[in-house]
Structure 1
Amino acid sequence: MHDLGKRIGAKCVAGDLILLNGPLGAGKTVLVQGIGEALGISDVTSPTFVISRIHKAPLPLIHVDAYRLLEGGNAALYLDDLDLDSPRENAVTVIEWGGEESARLSEERLEIVIDRTDDVREVTMTPVGARWQGFSS
């Protein structure tokens, strides 16, 4: 997952939105750590309890964990409270547990689903919009 994240991070530009979904323990945060490494960031940890972290770098990384927002029942409203619009245009934004309420943030995004129902991880990447078309890991 870390190596996949590094390959994705190497392709990132300001304004990118990446949505990650998969069960607990699937490797979402490890993937974000790989993206961070590609951006020159070494201290990426899960923002589960703080919801959102901005990692400063030449190309900053906004790392959001929407898991706790989903528990509240109105994730779209809570996501709006994070005020991601202004810093997002100059950063890469990765949202763990990023569902349809996160998808509305951009018409151009990479949606990644990690399935770990067996001992093998299966990763499905779906580019939405032209930005990520043709990307393969």
Structure 2
Amino acid sequence: MSDLPSFTVAVPLPDEAATAALGRRLAALLRPGDLVALRGDLGAGKTALSRALIRGVTHEDAEVPSPTFTLVQTYDTAIGPVWHFDLYRLSGPDEVYELGWDEARAEAVMLVEWPDRLGPLLPPDRLEVTLSHDGPDARRASLTGHGTLAARLAGTDWTLA
């Protein structure tokens, strides 16, 4: 068990506009070196949330392809480099080094889909975002900040208007 502080908040996402608003709100919270662990079943909205976050720190019409086949996409943004990883197809944690993991950890905000694939490489100081279905088109996000991200998460208004 970690002795790092943590803070959790639930955010209802009734539609795509709410998911985009959450992405923009998260973007304002993040700094280089932060890791966002994105959890949820296939189709839960991990890539949609990542896309909204990246567009929030680049421009609204930015092309943001899913990293499903490339495994990682990188972006130059207003908050510094953002690396978006999709680790679904990795067979072990060591394979992440081939994707530039050390470089990303040193300088970037990292969005990581399927973070369990990191095993012991998943840092204890992180933001966990768990997305789940809450109706046909609605989702629910559970945000848990660990370590330094706990205070930033707690100090943010998560009401999406």
TM-score tier (shorter): 0.7 to 0.9
1 CA distance for matches of 2:118 and 2:34?
Answer: 16
1:47 to 29, 44, 67: 67
SS in 2 for 1:53: strand
CA RMSD of aligned residues (A): 2.0
Which 5+ residue runs of structure 1 have no aligned equivalent? none
Question: In 2, are the aligned partners of 1:95 and 1:102 still within 8 Å (CA)?
Answer: no
Is 1:3 aligned to 2:8, yes or no? no
Shift, 1:100, TM fit: 6.2
Residues 87 and 15 (structure 1), Cα distance of their counterparts in 2 relative to 1, 3 Å cut: same
User: Does the alignment pair 1:62 with 2:83?
Assistant: yes
Percent identical = 31
CA contact (8 A) 1:62 1:88 kept: no
**Amino acid paired to 2:146:** V
1:110 counterpart residue number: 127
Q: Distance in 2 between matches of 1:117 and 1:81?
A: 36
Q: What amino acid does structure 1 have at the position aligned with 2:68? A: T
| Structure 2: segments with no counterpart, 5+ residues | 1-18
Q: Return 18-27 or 103-112, whichever deviates more.
A: 103-112
Q: How many residues align?
A: 133
Cα drift, residue 28 of structure 1? 0.8
TM-score by length of 2: 0.73
Farther off after superposition, 122-131 or 112-121 = 112-121
Aligned mates of 1:136, 1:106 — CA distance in 2: 25
Q: Which runs of 4+ in 1 moved over 6 A?
A: none
Q: TM-score, normalised by structure 1?
A: 0.84
Q: Is the counterpart of residue 37 in structure 1 residue 55 in structure 2?
A: yes
